[in-house]
Amino acid sequence: MNPTEMTRMKPQILIARAIFPEVIAKLAQHFDVESNPSDALWTQAELTHKLQGRQGVFTTGGERIDAELLAACPDLKICANMAVGYNNFDIAAMTAAGVLGTNAPDVLTETTADFGFALLMATARRMAEAEHFLRAGHWTRWRYDMFAGADIHGATLGILGMGRIGQGIARRGAMGFGMKVIYHNRSRLDAATEAECKASFVGKEELLRSADHLVLVLPYSASSHHAIGAAELAQMKPTATLVNIARGGIVDDAALAVALRNKTIAAAGLDVFEGEPKVHPDLLTVPNVVLTPHIASATMPTRLAMAHLAADNLIGYLIHNKPLTPLNPAVLAL
Ligand code: GLV
């Protein structure tokens, strides 16, 4: 067999967005790779077309893998997401089609928890608002209440969604800032993990009512859609801050903009948005919100580790039949 024939025999994969050249090079050792160095945003039809004859796809969280695409891509065997969240995958449809999904957990936990805490502090201490004021040349003198915000230390930290990232935020709050930590989750943590995080389980209503700062770290699904809307915001303290580093759609952004304008709550920090990268126009006009463009896991070492994990899932499954972080392991038994 000559080298050209050997190359032809490699499984074919698509990398849907621009990623680290070294990760592309690693994948190219095993696969016939089509990458996207210009980082073009493909339509669903273009993605489907590019997946023809390909066994694997490296996705980054924005590409929708649904029943329609799967039906049109019969050679596809694995979709490897470079994200811990995978609400871009219709997992039931993938399982039905015998297509494995993988995500990128663990490698981003501490980086994302760091960012959640940074966004919480920036929000409670009004850093963005104060910086805009300074840059605009409005700072002419000291004032006793200028940009007075809310304390972090000693406050009650509420966490909705207590997976690995939620636990990381709890540890930072309890051990770094002496916060009282309460959480709500679909299922209660075991006693040892609760003790390690110094966190107490409460019902959702108590969480909303008691938290001085509420951080959202739950996965997005039909059941968490608008988990925080007008009714929930109305139950929170008027001095409270809300931070969303989970997914757009968990918060009703229109209702949040109204609540921020009416001071139903004091402030919000948002890294994720409904329909992002579009941002609800009313959020852009209220001053008491800190807005960042979905960067909670964005440090170079963490993004590189996420990309390597997605690549290792493709290699692990298509070459060795051993994916590292399968989401629907039922496919492996098929
Ligand atoms: C980022 O939002 C992720 O899910 O990794």
pLDDT tens for 266-284 read 999 999 999 999 999 999 9
**243: nearest Cα among 112, 115, 119:** 119
pLDDT per position as a tens digit, 195-213:
999 999 999 999 999 999 9
Q: Are residues 188 and 276 in the same domain?
A: yes
Q: Are residues 103 and 244 in the same domain?
A: no
Q: What is the mean pLDDT of the chain?
A: 97
Residue 122: its pLDDT value, please? 98
CA distance 120 to 150: 10
Q: Are residues 206 and 282 in the same domain?
A: yes
State how far the alpha carbon of 239 is from the alpha carbons of 97, 146, 334, in Å: 49, 16, 53
Q: Are residues 220 and 328 in the same domain?
A: no
What is the mean predicted confidence (pLDDT) over 22-45?
98
Q: Ligand 1 center to residue 20 CA distance, Å?
A: 17
State how far the alpha carbon of 312 is from the alpha carbons of 9, 78, 80, 216, 307, in Å: 20, 12, 9, 29, 9
Share of the chain above pLDDT 70, in %: 98
Q: Are residues 157 and 228 in the same domain?
A: yes
Residue 328 sits in a domain whose CATH number is 3.40.50.720
CA distance 139 to 131: 10
Q: Are residues 96 and 124 in the same domain?
A: no
Which structure tokens are listed for 301? 């070492």
Share of the chain above pLDDT 90, in %: 97
> Looking at the annotation, which residues are catalytic?
247, 276, 294
pLDDT per position as a tens digit, 237-263:
999 999 999 999 999 999 999 999 999
The contacts of residue 244 (CB under 8 Å, 6+ apart) are: 216, 228, 250, 251, 268, 269, 270, 271, 272
Q: What's the pLDDT band for 6 if we cut at 50, 70, 90?
A: low
Mutate to test the pocket of ligand 1, among 112, 164, 221, 327 (most ligand atoms within 8 A of CB): 112
Query: In this predicted model, which residue has the larger pLDDT, 9 or 44?
Result: 44
Q: Are residues 80 and 12 in the same domain?
A: yes
Q: DSSP labels for 13-32?
A: EEE-S---HHHHHHHHTTSE
Mutate to test the pocket of ligand 1, among 107, 108, 164, 302 (most ligand atoms within 8 A of CB): 108
pLDDT per position as a tens digit, 53-105:
999 999 999 999 999 999 999 999 999 999 999 999 999 999 999 999 999 99
Residue 334: its pLDDT value, please? 82
**Domain extent for 67:** 3-107+300-333
If one counts the domains in the chain, the total is: 2
Ligand 1 surroundings by CB, under 6 angstroms: 61, 83-85, 108, 297
Give all strands (DSSP E) within the chain, no chain letters: 12-15, 32-34, 56-59, 78-81, 100-102, 156-160, 180-184, 199-201, 213-216, 241-244, 267-270, 289-291
Q: Are residues 138 and 236 in the same domain?
A: yes
Residue 64: its pLDDT value, please? 98
Q: Are residues 144 and 254 in the same domain?
A: yes
Q: Are residues 181 and 252 in the same domain?
A: yes
Residue 310 pLDDT exceeds 60: yes
Residue 7 pLDDT exceeds 70: no
Q: Are residues 128 and 40 in the same domain?
A: no
* Atom number in ligand 1 closest to CA 246: 2
Residue 9: its pLDDT value, please? 83
Q: Ligand 1 center to residue 223 CA distance, Å?
A: 19
Q: Are residues 88 and 147 in the same domain?
A: no
